[in-house]
Amino acid sequence: MEGSPSGGSRGKREGENEMNTALAPELTVADRCDRCGAQAYIRARLVSGGELLFCAHHGREHLPALQGQAVEIHDESARLTETPASAPIDER
Ligand SMILES: [Zn+2]
């Protein structure tokens, strides 16, 4: 005999993927450094609610000062170290 009270929903989870679009936004070519206008690779979300965008150069320069003011620092500057293999090797 089975007196199981449950038996309604059968784990149908639609629309779950849509939630992920809000997760971890990536910086694009449309994001520009606030200082020089170059492509931004670092984004700092401030405690005050604002956001700052920096290129790798200015990010490195300003991040130490932002450590106390930023709630989140998104750093994609590591992407820059992936240099294309076509770079000529200058060897003497
Ligand atoms: Zn810059």
Residue spans of the domains in the chain: they are 30-78
pTM for the complete prediction? 0.61
Q: How far is the CA of 88 from the centre of ligand 1 (A)?
A: 26
Residue linked to tokens 């993927």: 17
Tens-digit pLDDT profile for residues 17-37? 444 444 455 899 999 999 999
CB 28 within 8 A of CB 40: no
10-residue averages of pLDDT along the chain (92 residues): 59 51 70 97 94 96 92 91 67 70
Q: How far is the CA of 35 from the centre of ligand 1 (A)?
A: 5
The CB density around residue 34, as the number of other CB atoms within 10 Å, is 14
Q: Is 75 exposed, middle or buried (0-12, 13-18, 19+ CB in 10 A)?
A: middle
Of the chain, the percentage scoring pLDDT greater than 70 comes to: 62
Q: How far is the CA of 18 from the centre of ligand 1 (A)?
A: 34
